[in-house]
A and B are shown apart, each in its own frame.
Chain A
Amino acid sequence: MNSILNQNSLESEAIYILREVVAQFDNPVLLFSGGKDSISLVRLAQKAFYPAKIPFPLMHIDTGHNFPETIKFRDQLVEELGLRLIVRSVQDDIDRGISVEEKGKYSSRNLLQTNTLLNAIDEFKFDACIGGARRDEEKARAKERIFSIRNDFGEWDEKNQRPEVFDMLNGKIDIGQNVRVFPISNWTELDVWEYIKRENIEIPSIYFAHDREVFERDGLIWTASKYVYKDEDEITKTKRVRFRTVGDISCTAAVESNADSIEKIIEEIRDSAISERGARIDDKRSEAAMETRKQQGYF
């Protein structure tokens, strides 16, 4: 037995939040993208309810344009922990005529995810969706509450949010509303990586430096893939790269890197002159790209 527990305050806060979700809501779900943030959330949930199993399912909103590495990783994790995984796919919604594929050079399924997510929330009657968004990622996310209310259209009313004082979380909602919950709101990118290192958490291989067929556009490194539109004169070449965030393959740019271990990644982020979401093509659409998407129900 150990003598005195020395717990990291960010970890303690995240676990407290996860426990409040289970206590205050009937039907929570953890939104799992296969990225490092949602993987860390799964570890936190394991710790929060141990020795019991994680008392809610994971849900993946699948754009169909995934990095194959993350899907493999997702299925292994779910099996290992004996969790329930729900997958709802953008492709199904396109086939059913609910969503329409974007066209052109910058087409992506990023926006279409919102539709699929909102339909899935409706289908399963989820009242709380736990996500790995962090306030340091983006300026609209900096305004987020821990419990963030969405109306039955999934809309975020950013100018009229409930005050959150101290650590007291008010999860009371009307029928039809749901809450987005952000347990790692106060973590930074570096905090997540240090946690992954300390806890020895496995993450998909695309976070580490690897050789990949890529091409450059607008100063960003795009993956050459059948899902990514490419002009004929955009020449691909093999580069040593890694990904700092993992989204849809069509909206996530790579960064040149030789960091092939967690230690090197941490070092690289410390010295980095570019922010994490600097490589997110979806954020580059406009100054308010994230705010606009969030208002419509995006994560």
Chain B
Amino acid sequence: MEVLKIATAGSVDDGKSTLIGRLLYDTKSLTLDKIEAIDRLSKKNGLDYLDFSLATDGLVAEREQGITIDVAHIYFSTPKKSYIIADTPGHIEYTRNMVTGASTSQASIILIDARKGVIEQTYRHFYINNLLRVKEVIVAINKMDLVNYSEEVFNNIIQDFEELKARSDFKDQKLTFIPVSALWGENIAEKSNAMSWYDGQTILEHLEDLKTEDFVEQTQARFPVQTVVRPKTDEFHDYRGYAGKISGNSFHIGDEVTVLPSGTKSTIKEIHFFNESFKEAPAGSSVTISLTDDINVARGDMLVKTSEVPNEKKLLDATVCWMDNKPLIPGAKYVIQHNTNSVLAKIDKVEGNVNTNPEVVSQEPNLKLNDIGNVRLKLSKCIFADSYNSNRANGRFILVDTQTNTTAGVGFIK
């Protein structure tokens, strides 16, 4: 069955967890024991209705404070599709979680409180969806019950949002506006009677119509080598296969390939998956490839078609989202992990903080936790990279702190 991954973004109390809980309930994905647990906790908290946010807030601290702290992954399915929702916290200080959630998602839902409209955090949510190139964005205008289901309020918010969109550089992004009340399940899976003026789809109807194959990136094929398979058995005495996951586009038997960084050329002899061989393997497949020539290939190397070699870079300009408490400052050294390859990087320049709110311009020479900025990195060795906008899999990297080993930031190559 198709799997669609969705990220959610909203500010505190916009009702994100409630919306997800409602989707689970209305698709009958909440089992009786879970509904009973929600009922028990709702009553304990003095509520006379089912608090669906309790379905998603997994940690004790979250249930105590009634907020979402960390990304949670939630699963539900309909007869048509399986869904994975990354429930990401809305606090401004938790941008890193939102980037994390959106990075693995094909579509996203941005929540807006109908009473508050487009606020500063909405800029940030929208900006992150643009930066990560999330193609399908649903803007759910929630709590319509608290604004008397007013069509005017809905239209005003759309107008404000369209102004944001006009400033965006990602023209292929599709925006869909849906007025909802997550608490009462209106326009989530069931059409709302109170909003007869709205003749569009419910959130679930819209999700059901999305086709996962439309989200597969079609660009140049890349094959980062994860590990070398050498069985050394009698049957496979001389076998040397390169295990990895294909991105961008297909590889075929007979393709002329170049091994990077060495530049050695060869031809694809076989493409294996388990005990079967294939003429062609598309992007997204985990396979084992063997070459016609006995050449030196190791983890961290990348196979590409000889006619499609990416740029060789020793100086990297990127947009970086910072995820560590220790700020990113010029002169600092990190390990840059790009696909399966790791090299040392020195931070050359931090070109001010890209503020996600266009009204405020901030220029600081460092990036603090949850900041997003332009960074120039000098690498100890060349890497072969694409720009994120032309090849997402080969245009991103993480920065790993050499002392704490933590994943300190994520970069999108320009």
Contact = CB atoms under 8 A, between A and B. Distances in A.
Interface stretch (B149-157, B161-169, B271-279, B302-310): B271-279
A275 B34 contact: yes
Interface string A133-150: 001100111110000000
Interface residues of B, number: 77
Chain B CB within 10 Å — which of A9, A10, A11, A173 has the most?
Answer: A9
A275 B285 contact: no
Interface string A1-28: 1111111011111011001101100000
Nearest to B104: A166
B284 A9 contact: yes
A41 to B, nearest CB: 15
A76 interface: no
24 contacts: A1-B278, A2-B276, A4-B279, A4-B281, A4-B282, A12-B245, A19-B243, A20-B226, A50-B229, A52-B233, A136-B73, A143-B58, A159-B69, A163-B99, A164-B407, A165-B104, A165-B396, A165-B407, A165-B410, A168-B339, A170-B405, A172-B335, A172-B400, A278-B32
B410 to A, nearest CB: 5
A53 B231 contact: yes
B226 A5 contact: no
Interface string A27-49: 00000000000000000001111
A287 interface: yes
Nearest to B271: A5
B100 interface: yes
B71 A5 contact: no
A124 to B, nearest CB: 21
Contacts of A52: 229-233, 236
Given A19-B243, A274-B31, A275-B31, A172 B58 contact: no
A288 interface: yes
Contact of B58 (A9, A47, A291): A291
B226 A166 contact: no
B273 A274 contact: no
B340 interface: yes
A87 interface: no
B347 interface: no
A162 interface: yes
B405 A48 contact: no
Interface in B232-289: 232-233, 235-236, 239, 241, 243-245, 250, 271-282, 284-288
B74 A288 contact: no
Interface of B: 3, 31-34, 37, 41, 56-61, 63, 69-75, 77, 82, 84, 96-97, 99-100, 103-104, 226-227, 229-233, 235-236, 239, 241, 243-245, 250, 271-282, 284-288, 299, 323, 335, 337, 339-340, 393, 396-398, 400, 405-407, 410
B285 A174 contact: no
B77 A190 contact: yes
Given A9-B284, A48-B243, A140-B58, 10 more contacts: A5-B273, A12-B245, A51-B275, A53-B231, A135-B73, A143-B58, A165-B100, A165-B410, A170-B405, A170-B406
Contact of A288 (B60, B250, B272): B60
A188 interface: yes
Contacts of B245: 12, 15-16, 167
A158 to B, nearest CB: 6
A49 B243 contact: yes
